[in-house]
A and B are shown apart, each in its own frame.
Chain A
Amino acid sequence: MRFSRFELFWLAELQRQRDVSDADQQADRFRLTELDAKQGMTEQLLERARRSAERRKDTQHIGRWQQLRRLLTLIFALLAVALGIGATQAVLNQPQPISLLFAVSVLVVPNLIMLLLWALVAVRRNRPVGVTASGLQLLEWLQRSSQAHELGTAWLSHVQQQKLLQPLMAMLSNGFWLLIALSSWATLLLYLSFNDYAFHWATTILSEEQLHTFVRLAHYLPELLFGATLPELSAASAAANFDNTAGRWLSLTVVSYAVLPRAVIFSAAFLLFSLRCARMQLDLNAPGHVATVRAIEAAQRPTRNVDADSGREHESLTFRYASEGKGEVSLSLDFEADPNWRGDENYLGVVARQQDKKALLDRLDKEPAERLEVRIAGSLTPDRSSLRYLAALAARTRRLTVVLVKSAGTTYLKQWQELLEQHEVTYVDTE
């Protein structure tokens, strides 16, 4: 199924809402590697939404939704046309001569009042009101499924985010009234063209003055826009062409006050809608999208192993001890963590430099020790080199003891203990 851009963004919003509510399930459903890494992130999200929708058969629901929407629009349109025709007929069915004031009130005033109400209530609303709200409710009610409800929620959220709701509502509401106005105007033209009607200015309770004001007001736009001629107001309304002038004036008044304003607003709303549609953007920072974007990036930019582990076979160590030895030796390996440590006469000090380490081994080669005590700072990490050195020392003594010197803060005592136990080396902890 081909989707319009509007529908794709709608689907993306639907998908986003699903991602928010159950991310894991959504992740299982769709492999991100299916996406084309060369596309921009927005396009990839849209593509993911499209494919997920196809798999979930959301496409059918969208199709049905759109069908119903068209049907509803048609029904609303027919209703509007019927209302328009009805209004005109109600006017023209009055006993003749027909009151011009009455005709204007029926054909123009309701439209203007609703326009005013719309301007007051609905223009800046970012929630559905009026026809849009009832239309939406009707759409969902007609489908009554959880998926349709999800679609409806996503639709609303989508048009709100893209700022499409206001122009859309303006189009709907003004479109509805435009149709009413158009149909009533067309009916009026039709009847006035081929029938003979008589008009007059009539009022029961308005004073002459009030009548004048009202008529002047009503005449303002038709005159300005079309240079319409006002039917003679004087009592001697016996001018030969009074009905002709009156009929023309009435139809121009309907155009000026009912058709034109609605048409202008409708076109403006349509323009705004198209403009915003063309500029739709996904908010990649929105909940749901954030995680997806990260997952897509992780899938498309994986960590690579460029030089793999070749195993530990050359790292294995065996601790073998000397068969004989004399005397005691103690030393600190690499570092003495206890600043107050003085040791006894057997203490060789800190052995840290490579040549010192080597020299010690040479010395023990000649004269293995009975007991060897190696002090190790628990704050230093164990490493292969230290263990290898311990193994080398072990081979040159009968008894090796490691003293793990504790110090403040996090230490590697546990790691040392594990490794020493693994090699069955005796160790003690200092307090």
Chain B
Amino acid sequence: MSTLNKPLQVAVVGHTNAGKTSLLRTLLELREFGEVDQRPSTTRSVLAQGVWLEGEQILSFYDTPGLESGSELYTEIEGYADAHRHDGPAQIRAFLQSPSAETIYAQEAKVLRQLLQSDAAFYVIDCRDPVLPKYQDELQLLTRCGKPMLPVLNYTASTPNREQDWREALARLNLHAVVAFDTVSPPEGGEKYLLQSLATVIPAAEPVLTKLLQQRRQERERRFIGGIHSIAELLFEVASYHIRVPHELPEHELKQAAARLQQRIREREQKTVQELLGRFAFLPEDAVTAHLDIRTGTWQDDLFEPETLKAWSKDTGFGVGAGAAAGAGVDLMVGGLSLGLATALGAAAGGLYQSWRHLGEKVKQRWRGERELGVDAATLATIAGRQLFLLQQLSRRGHAATEAVEVAVDHRLSREQFSAIEKVLRPVLTETPDIDREKVIRKLEVLLQESL
């Protein structure tokens, strides 16, 4: 970091509602940075936030209030042109000394003051807007501060898109290093272009910025791997949920038991959703595990909705359970599960104490005529599919996004995608003793990665 002896100061400026605060939320990965709103004049103060690399602060970003009176102010500054010919910064400083900098142009003055103290600035543009004269005045005004300006075309994922018009207009001002961005769904490599454009105007910062980019990439990989791990743990644990019920249980009590199991599964899934959100620095409310029912306009938790469950077992060949458990997303296993018994016998033959105990349990269950409720394959396939979907969404999502991700049932894995995972989970589903949890989870991680 020898090339920079103090953190780079970068201001973020632009018209109100252009997405300045949003840009910083995404760039800093701080979901709660500043205040974001569709109303104009949302940001009222200059906020500073640092960026650290290996314990050392390398950058300071400044979020500024939106410029709203660019044209009038431009005219006003022209009044100082005679006294300070060809010296933009002096004209700006003269304005900042004037009374109007404290009154009607107080908000604009904050921006200019900050810009004078910065090394460079991102000029954020809502590229849905036409290139209006007032924006051009604004830009002229900002360039008078004599600082490198890096135009950021925001809203590139929205329509209309006047990116081309803006590029031409900016080129006429000799601003060529233009970065296309979208704070809500940042383009692939968007961050890289932003930071690299910074390096083009401040070459001394290049090494740290490159290092920062590298660190960010690693961090992103780590998050992804950690997310996969969490999903694998979720599948393992949900697969291991079992509720033992007597053989002669009345239908409604069986239904209650199934509902208890469902509730446990939902809660466990929710825990992973929260874990993933936290891992990617999002807020608890940034994802909903439900879908919006178009007919009723209400949110529905559809993991165990009978309709969808029935639909699946038809189209994807997931079997349906028997009796009361049918269509409940759970399996009813009779007599301690014959497959479990077989595996238990096998393991017991291996001579381990736990296996003998397990075998005893199974025999006892069968003798007493107990049955077991456990999660079924279709439910696991849904959980796996939609968590992977969430993971993918979160890894692409900008921290400026304000709408929640919908983790709905239609993201489930197909029969083919799921069959390998089911095979790995089989010992857990059948309560085989002496399972090497770490090993199963590692295998699941590989399979989950492959199904992406």
B47 at interface, CB cutoff 8 A: yes
Closest to B106 in A: A310
Contacts of A354 in B (CB 8 A): 71-72, 74-75, 133-134, 137
Which residue of A287, A303, A307, A353 is within 8 Å of B133 (Cβ)?
A353
For the complex, give the distance between the alpha carbons of A315 and B100 in Å: 12
A379 at interface, CB cutoff 8 A: yes
For the complex, give the distance between the alpha carbons of A308 and B50 in Å: 18
Q: Is A381's CB under 8 angstroms from B40's CB?
A: yes
Contacts of A384 in B (CB 8 A): 40-41, 68-69, 107
Q: Is B48's CB under 8 angstroms from A303's CB?
A: yes
For the complex, give the distance between the alpha carbons of A127 and B34 in Å: 48
Q: Is B275's CB under 8 angstroms from A382's CB?
A: no
A197 at interface, CB cutoff 8 A: no
Contacts of A306 in B (CB 8 A): 45-48, 62, 114
Interface residue ranges of B150-201 to A (CB < 8 Å) = 158-160
For the complex, give the distance between the alpha carbons of A377 and B327 in Å: 53
Q: Is A334's CB under 8 angstroms from B114's CB?
A: no
Partner-contacting stretch, out of A50-58, A224-232, A237-245, A404-412: A404-412
Contacts of B47 in A (CB 8 A): 303-306
Partner-contacting stretch, out of B222-230, B285-293, B361-369: B222-230
Q: Is A381's CB under 8 angstroms from B15's CB?
A: yes
Interface residue ranges of A105-131 to B (CB < 8 Å) = 126-127
Interface residue ranges of A1-52 to B (CB < 8 Å) = 20, 23, 40
Q: How large is the interface on A (under 10, 10 to 19, 20 to 34, 35 or more residues)?
A: 35 or more
A205 at interface, CB cutoff 8 A: no
Which residue of B68, B104, B275 is within 8 Å of A314 (Cβ)?
B104
Query: Given A305-B46, A314-B106, A379-B129, A160–B438 Cβ distance below 8 Å?
Result: yes
Which residue of B17, B52, B113, B160 is within 8 Å of A381 (Cβ)?
B17
Interface residue ranges of B15-51 to A (CB < 8 Å) = 15-17, 30, 33-34, 38-41, 44-50
Interface residue ranges of A269-308 to B (CB < 8 Å) = 285-287, 290-291, 294, 297-298, 301, 303-308
Q: How large is the interface on B (under 10, 10 to 19, 20 to 34, 35 or more residues)?
A: 35 or more
Interface string of B372-413 (1 = CB under 8 A from A): 000000000000000000000000000000000000000000
For the complex, give the distance between the alpha carbons of A335 and B134 in Å: 11
For the complex, give the distance between the alpha carbons of A394 and B116 in Å: 37
Contacts of B52 in A (CB 8 A): 297, 301
Query: Given A126-B436, A303-B33, A354-B133, A385–B110 Cβ distance below 8 Å?
Result: no
Q: Is B45's CB under 8 angstroms from A305's CB?
A: yes
For the complex, give the distance between the alpha carbons of A303 and B102 in Å: 24
User: How far does the Cβ of A304 sit from chain B's closest Cβ, in whole Å?
Assistant: 5
Which residue of B134, B223, B225 is within 8 Å of A385 (Cβ)?
B134
A371 at interface, CB cutoff 8 A: no
Q: Is A287's CB under 8 angstroms from B50's CB?
A: no
A415 at interface, CB cutoff 8 A: yes
Q: Is A388's CB under 8 angstroms from B69's CB?
A: yes
User: How far does the Cβ of B415 sit from chain A's closest Cβ, in whole Å?
Assistant: 30
Closest to B280 in A: A290
A309 at interface, CB cutoff 8 A: yes
Query: Given A352-B132, A354-B71, A385-B134, A285–B222 Cβ distance below 8 Å?
Result: yes
User: How far does the Cβ of A158 sit from chain B's closest Cβ, in whole Å?
Assistant: 14
B interface majority secondary structure:
mixed
Q: Is B15's CB under 8 angstroms from A383's CB?
A: yes
A366 at interface, CB cutoff 8 A: no
A342 at interface, CB cutoff 8 A: no
Q: Is A294's CB under 8 angstroms from B16's CB?
A: no
Which residue of A301, A314, A382 is within 8 Å of B40 (Cβ)?
A382
B279 at interface, CB cutoff 8 A: yes
Interface string of B128-144 (1 = CB under 8 A from A): 11101110010000000
B70 at interface, CB cutoff 8 A: yes
Q: Is B159's CB under 8 angstroms from A308's CB?
A: no
B297 at interface, CB cutoff 8 A: no
B66 at interface, CB cutoff 8 A: yes
Q: Is B16's CB under 8 angstroms from A383's CB?
A: yes
Closest to A129 in B: B352
For the complex, give the distance between the alpha carbons of A309 and B47 in Å: 10
A380 at interface, CB cutoff 8 A: yes
Contacts of A144 in B (CB 8 A): none
For the complex, give the distance between the alpha carbons of A385 and B105 in Å: 10
User: How far does the Cβ of A383 sit from chain B's closest Cβ, in whole Å?
Assistant: 4
Q: Is A303's CB under 8 angstroms from B49's CB?
A: yes
For the complex, give the distance between the alpha carbons of A141 and B30 in Å: 46
For the complex, give the distance between the alpha carbons of A135 and B35 in Å: 56
Closest to B219 in A: A285
Closest to A358 in B: B75
Top-5 shortest CB links A-B: A307-B46, A309-B44, A383-B68, A381-B17, A384-B68
Sampled A-B contacts (5; CB under 8 Å): A23-B278, A285-B225, A314-B106, A383-B40, A385-B68
Q: A380-B132, A381-B126, A383-B69 are in contact. List 9 more A-B contacts (CB 8 A).
A: A126-B436, A285-B226, A306-B62, A314-B106, A354-B133, A380-B129, A383-B66, A388-B69, A412-B17
Using a CB–CB distance below 8 Å, which chain B residues touch chain A?
15-17, 30, 33-34, 38-41, 44-50, 52, 55, 62, 66, 68-72, 74-75, 102-104, 106-107, 110, 113-114, 126, 128-130, 132-134, 137, 158-160, 222-223, 225-226, 229-230, 233, 275, 278-279, 281, 434, 436, 438
